[in-house]
Amino acid sequence: MEVIESRVDTRSAEFKKNEQAMRSLVADLKAELQRAHMDRSDKAQKRHTSQGKLPVEERLERLLDPDAPFLEIAPLAARGMYDGRVHGAGSLAGIGRVAGREVMVTANDARIKGGTIYPMGVKKTLRCQTIAMENRLPAISLVDSGGAFLPLQSELFPDIDDGGRVFYNQAIMSKLGISQITCVMGLCTAGAAYIPAMSDHAVHVNRTGAIFLGGPPLVRAATGEEVSAEELGGARVHCSESGVSDYFAEDDAHALAIVRDLVALLPPAHKTRIPTREPAEPLYDPAEIYGIVPESLATPYDVREVLARMVDGSEFHEFKRDYGPTLVCGWAYLHGMQVGILGNNGVLFSESSLKATQFIQLCDRDGVPLIFLQNINGYMIGREYERGGITKDGHKMVNAVATATVPKLTVIVGASFGAGNYGMCGRAYGPRFLWMWPNARIGVMGPEQAAAVLVSVKNDQLAREGLPPMSEEDKAAIQEPIRQAAEQEGSAYHSTANLWDDGILDPARTRDVLALGLSAALNAPLRSEPWGYGIFRM
Ligand code: COA
């Protein structure tokens, strides 16, 4: 394979300017993550530890293999929502290793409003279950939660993708043979009682853990019976009398040791084999990506410069280099694993769409996972391109992306607008994982384009009614709100708060994070469904 030869001058003023801008975005990201992990009230901290409970980060530390990587999922979910302090949507979740085995872990953080479940908390749990199902990862839940956040109960209970879906998924996961282990470390009240009940294994912590369909206050209100939480659903009751729980644990540490033992007893993971070779670092420093990515999304740059800092040995076997040059396709290795990569180098034309379709088919047939580096304003528009059939060529690419059966992983490294988001494997196209860089933006179109379309529609309407076009003032009144909304709602932080992605990445970590995602994906059979495609419009 050829080594990509970088043409970037790392001493140039432009490089330094870009580098400074990206470093500041990465510093902001680190500060956001730090706040999400650390910002807990003293009162909640004290209440938590006074009960003999370990903080959620320490629970994970004891559960996971020391020194093994942990790929956190959606750490900034619900950022800026509710009272602004429901960090991570109230839980810590991610893929880690237990007894050498990759597992999906979700853990309520009881120091955030008693670990109660907000609407975004349900969305995060469902996302983690999807990850466990698609990648066949054993699922471990460390439950410590007051159940539904009652003031928002109507937003998290009744619909198809609300709370009930969590337990529905548990039944489906059980049927699929995905092991589920729940550790009861706090309350499992009402619906949450089904989390341990529907798991294969339930470990129950004495005194702090309790499971009941109705807690003591509800029992008192409904029947007048006075009963303590311990008597109603404590570890002794459920491990000795009801059989709801399987393993009695003296405390958090003991319970986590039992969970580790249970994972060690699982049947071995049969990881999918893909072509591999000895891993190698890129020849160029991944941190140089900071200086390569322009401050403005409107400034073009060569995505090969990013690839040179991402793939093993900076080696890349490029496919159809001179045809459809606005999309770069080719094969490379990531931490020793062979992948097919598609990276945008401009707007998508018919040729680039056809090239993508052929490349996706090749990788899909040969069992090579696909990586999408998305920086795309959309497919080319205008009379010439419509006549050339840009829609039918774009369709082929979108069709191939949707139906490809190998694992797909997406990183939005810049723009993600319009149908370009679909063709480059946006969230709706089922990538196993999707991350954003902090500079990335997402939306149907950019703020200026959206504002211009609305003004044009209004002026056409006025012309039809025989009225003069809008004044500058009227235009501004229409443009400003849409501009502001697109500006705010198009940011990576808005995306990650809403769980449109699995997290925002430091660009320099992209190669490592992709490799962890890929390694997790290989726990499932290579193909998610039978190989094949629908009808391509010719
Ligand atoms: N909905 C909304 N807020 C809730 C809540 C719920 N279900 N459960 C707890 N909270 C809030 C409390 O009001 C408190 O808020 P504050 O910090 O602003 O004062 C915070 O969560 C912590 O609760 P607190 O009771 O002080 O902490 P704790 O550690 O002593 O107990 C629980 C935590 C979860 C055991 C206890 O609050 C509880 O039993 N909650 C109700 C559980 C229930 O019956 N849920 C049914 C829902 S399906």
Is the distance from CB of 219 to CB of 227 less than 8 angstroms?
yes
Q: How many Å apart are CA 338 and CA 312, to the nearest integer?
A: 10
**DSSP-based three-state secondary structure for 213:** coil
- Is 527 a residue whose pLDDT tops 90? no
For a substitution probing ligand 1, which of 153, 189, 207, 218 has the most ligand atoms within 8 Å of its CB?
A: 189
Task: Tell the residue nearest (CA) to atom 27 of ligand 1.
Answer: 114
Q: Is 397 exposed, middle or buried (0-12, 13-18, 19+ CB in 10 A)?
A: buried
47 ligand 1 Cβ < 6 A: yes
Quick one: tokens of 260? Answer: 């580790």
Q: What is the DSSP letter of 210?
A: E
Considering the chain, what percentage of its residues have pLDDT values greater than 70? 100
Which of ligand 1's atoms lies nearest the C-alpha of 150? 1
**pLDDT tens-digit map of 166-207:** 999 999 999 999 999 999 999 998 888 999 999 999 999 999
Report the pLDDT value the prediction gives residue 132, as an integer from 0 to 100.
Answer: 98
- Is 129 a residue whose pLDDT tops 90? yes
Quick one: tokens of 247? Answer: 């393993």
**pLDDT tens-digit map of 390-431:** 999 999 999 999 999 999 999 999 999 999 999 999 999 999
Q: How many Å apart are CA 209 and CA 245, to the nearest integer?
A: 11
For the segment 497-505, the average pLDDT, to the nearest whole number, is 98
- Is 290 a residue whose pLDDT tops 90? yes
Quick one: tokens of 336? Answer: 């020793």
186 CA from centroid of ligand 1 (Å): 11
Considering only CA atoms, which of 342, 339, 311, 310 is closest in space to residue 326? 342
Task: Tell the residue nearest (CA) to atom 18 of ligand 1.
Answer: 113
Task: Tell the residue nearest (CA) to atom 20 of ligand 1.
Answer: 113
Alpha carbon distances (Å) from 12 to 16, 18, 292, 299, 408: 6, 10, 11, 16, 36
Report the pLDDT value the prediction gives residue 529, as an integer from 0 to 100.
Answer: 78
Sign of CA pseudo-dihedral 424, 426, 430, 435: positive
For the segment 471-490, the average pLDDT, to the nearest whole number, is 92
- The rounded mean pLDDT for the chain is 96
Rounded to two decimals, what is the model's pTM?
0.96
Task: Tell the residue nearest (CA) to atom 30 of ligand 1.
Answer: 47
Cross-strand pairs, 202: 182
For the segment 43-58, the average pLDDT, to the nearest whole number, is 97
8-40 burial string, b = 16+ CB within 10 Å, else e?
A: beeeeeebeebbebbeebbeebeebbeebbeeb
112 CA from centroid of ligand 1 (Å): 10
Report the pLDDT value the prediction gives residue 530, as an integer from 0 to 100.
Answer: 84
- Is 491 a residue whose pLDDT tops 90? yes
146 ligand 1 Cβ < 6 A: yes
483 ligand 1 Cβ < 6 A: no
Considering the chain, what percentage of its residues have pLDDT values greater than 90? 95
117 ligand 1 Cβ < 6 A: no
221 CA from centroid of ligand 1 (Å): 17
Report the pLDDT value the prediction gives residue 60, as an integer from 0 to 100.
Answer: 98
Quick one: tokens of 270? Answer: 């049969």
Which of ligand 1's atoms lies nearest the C-alpha of 217? 44
Alpha carbon distances (Å) from 349 to 118, 421, 502: 43, 14, 29
Task: Tell the residue nearest (CA) to atom 31 of ligand 1.
Answer: 114
Report the pLDDT value the prediction gives residue 449, as an integer from 0 to 100.
Answer: 87
Residue 460, amino acid: D
Q: Which positions ≥6 away from 465 have C-beta within 8 Å?
A: none
Q: What is the DSSP letter of 287?
A: G
**DSSP-based three-state secondary structure for 300:** coil
- Is 151 a residue whose pLDDT tops 90? yes
Q: How many Å apart are CA 451 and CA 475, to the nearest integer?
A: 9
For the segment 50-67, the average pLDDT, to the nearest whole number, is 97
For the segment 246-271, the average pLDDT, to the nearest whole number, is 97
227 ligand 1 Cβ < 6 A: no
Cross-strand pairs, 141: 106, 182
442 ligand 1 Cβ < 6 A: no
Task: Tell the residue nearest (CA) to atom 21 of ligand 1.
Answer: 113
Report the pLDDT value the prediction gives residue 528, as an integer from 0 to 100.
Answer: 79
Q: How many Å apart are CA 276 and CA 333, to the nearest integer?
A: 8
105 CA from centroid of ligand 1 (Å): 23
- Structure confidence at residue 447 as a pLDDT band (50, 70, 90): confident
